[in-house]
Chain A
Amino acid sequence: MATAVVARPVARPQPRARDEEVLVWPDLVFIEFIAAMVFTLTLFLLSYLVNAPLLDQANADVTPNPSKAPWYLLNLQELLLHMNAAMAGVIVPTVWLVIMGAFPYFDRDNEGQGQYFATENSVRITIASAIVGFVGTWGLIIWDSGKGAYLVNKWFGISGGSNLAFLESERSIQQQLPWPEWSTHIPYLPFRGVTILGQQFLNLNFPAWLVEQAIPTAVLVGFPCMLIYVLWRKGWVVTRRDVLLALFSGFVAAYGVLTLSGTAFRGQGQELVFPWELKVSEGIPGQE
């Protein structure tokens, strides 16, 4: 007897509810038409009122200060200020895209689809995580810019003095602590001198590694885990869907803050300034 092996999809489409259906023409086509018209007219109006920017012709000898990537990459450029370049520019975004792509394979329950905030605590989780992402990201940016310590001193007259100067920003942990001489070149035993994929392993600069890789990794992994843990202890996060709600909402808030701060709050030399203090100078570095 022959048996046929039929590949079955993980989940089948739901049967249709014919009596609940409306005709695409006119009900949907009409809405699509209106939406398209509204966008066409708005964009025509915008294009009539505001011209696309065109600066001077490209010149490799004249570096504008600050030089910025297109706005949707400024979140990465902002991250770049706080950690190792490869991490900020490539590893973090790639890992996040993979995590996001894997969402449906982590949360496989088909309960609660097709409706906004269908599960019990979803609104609370979303709002709480968005607030944490927003406040947390701004807090970290301000702290690491060194402006946090400066403002605390200016407004409240509190200063940690030179003993606590290493807490002023991430970089000061490397610069202000009395790291022993040997800690900046710890040999990579036992594979010292080994070359892996074009990179030769010789010595580890521990303070730099701590500041550029270890702490940022701890923050990027630890904070979301902590958020989910706290919401779980509170009894809000119960299902895998809830975990994703916290993760995604925190991400959207953090992503928004990073984009905004990279776009509107980074002035010359990528210093943290208010948007109204933003200036761009076009000049040859060192001769301005």
Chain B
Amino acid sequence: MAVETPAGPTLADKLYDKLFHNYVWKSIFRTGYPNTPRNQMLVVATNVFLHLHPTRIHRTHVKITHTYCLGGLSFFMFLGLTVTGILLMFYYVPSVERAYLDIQNIQTTVQFGQLMRNMHRWMAHAMVILVFLHMMRVFYTGAYKPPREFNWVVGVILLVLTFLLSFTGYLLPWDQLAFWAITVGTNIAGSAPVLGPKTRFWLLGGFEVGPDSLIRFYTLHVIGLPLLAAIFMAVHFWRIRRDGGLARPL
């Protein structure tokens, strides 16, 4: 008669235990590896980044064709732009004497500088497009309807902030493209009745694009507007959760 001996832990089990149940791991992640439904919910609920999500969502909302991930990707572009933007800030000085040369230097002498600049530029374009498309998807799914009225308004503000972020960045390379685009753009703003000329003067720090405009656009671009956008995004995400997750048919 064969005696049944319980199989001891395999090598994989031991390794797993060492990796995910040790003192250090558990001090960082309160949960074990998310391989059981309980741990999967805990990992979302206890992780500061993941807990932007609820732990469970309606199954129609994980279909790609419902959101096309457009809101999430807009946010992802914002994060990517922050990272590449910080790297560019290491080298770029917003003065008329240096700006253009710094950009040239970034492209020619800084390791991966050209790549960073290209990424920053193309991500910025992508973000403008993605935010617009996100707005279209929200509209056509009727997701602005009650109780999400206010989050739609927050969205419209985010759309404007996205345009402004991109616009203020456009001047920074201080080349002909930048200079004249901002000249044309601020002329448009300046044509407003009553407040136009004041707004233009305030934006440019003078009557035409010059050194004072560069420092203003830079400050708005790297701190003022990103801060505002981050605040409104926080409100946007908070409201999505408060309004009961994404819209679904009654």
Chain A interface (Cβ within 8 Å of chain B)?
A: 9-14, 16-18, 20-29, 31-32, 35-36, 39-40, 43-44, 46-48, 50-60, 62-64, 67-70, 72-73, 76-77, 80, 85-86, 88-91, 97, 100-101, 103-105, 107-118, 126, 197-199, 241, 244, 248, 252, 282
* A39 lies within 8 A of B174 (CB): no
Query: When A25-B34, A36-B76, A63-B180 are in contact, do A85 and B191 touch as well, CB less than 8 Å?
Result: yes
Does B220 make an interface contact (CB < 8 A)? no
Assuming the contacts A23-B40, A57-B100, A116-B140, asked whether A73 and B50 have C-beta atoms less than 8 A apart, the reply is no
Cα A12 to Cα B243 in complex, Å, equals 7
Would you call A52 and B188 a contact (CB within 8 A)? no
- The interface residues of chain A lying within 8 Å CB-to-CB of B55 are 23-25
B181 / chain A contacts, CB cutoff of 8 Å: 67-70
**Which residues of B pack against A, CB within 8 Å?**
34, 37, 40-41, 43-44, 50, 53-62, 64, 69, 72-73, 76-77, 80, 96, 100, 103-104, 107, 114-115, 117-123, 126, 128, 136, 139-149, 152-153, 156, 160, 163, 166-167, 170, 173-181, 183-185, 187-189, 191-194, 196, 208-209, 242-250
Complex A-B, nearest 8 residue pairs according to Cβ-Cβ distance, in ascending order: A13-B244, A47-B118, A11-B146, A58-B179, A104-B149, A89-B188, A85-B191, A114-B247
Please indicate the chain B residues that have their CB under 8 angstroms from the CB of A89 in the complex: 187-189, 191-192
A to B CB contacts below 8 Å, 15 in the list: A13-B244, A23-B37, A25-B34, A25-B44, A44-B115, A52-B118, A52-B121, A54-B103, A59-B176, A69-B188, A89-B191, A89-B192, A103-B144, A115-B249, A126-B140
Q: How far is the CA of A32 from the CA of B62 in the complex (A)?
A: 10
Give bound CA distance, A88 to B43, whole Å.
51
Main secondary structure of the interface of B (DSSP, over half): helix
Verify B40–A64 contact, CB threshold 8 A.
no
With contacts A31-B62, A103-B152, A113-B142 known, what are 18 further pairs, Cβ within 8 A?
A13-B244, A21-B58, A21-B59, A23-B40, A24-B53, A25-B40, A25-B55, A28-B61, A29-B44, A39-B126, A54-B175, A58-B174, A60-B209, A73-B188, A89-B188, A90-B192, A104-B146, A113-B145
- Structural contact, A46 and B188, CB atoms closer than 8 A: no
Cβ of A55: which chain B residues have Cβ within 8 Å of it? Answer: 175-177
Q: Are B184 and A67 in contact (CB under 8 A)?
A: yes
Whole-angstrom distance between the Cβ of A62 and the nearest chain B Cβ: 7
Q: How far is the CB of B75 from chain A (nearest CB, A)?
A: 10
Chain B's nearest CB lies how many Å from the CB of A287?
Answer: 17
A196's nearest neighbour on chain B, judged by CB, is B194
Closest partner residue, chain A, to B69 (CB atom): A35
- Which residues on the A side are within 8 Å of B184 (C-beta)? 67-69, 73, 77
> Given A25-B34, A43-B123, A69-B188, do A14 and B175 touch, yes or no (CB 8 Å)?
no
In Å, the complex CA distance between A59 and B179 comes to: 8
Q: How far is the CB of B202 from chain A (nearest CB, A)?
A: 15
B residues less than 8 Å from A57 (CB atoms): 100, 174-176
Check B208–A60 contact: CB distance below 8 A: yes
Task: Identify which of B156, B191, B245 contacts A97 (C-beta below 8 A).
Answer: B156
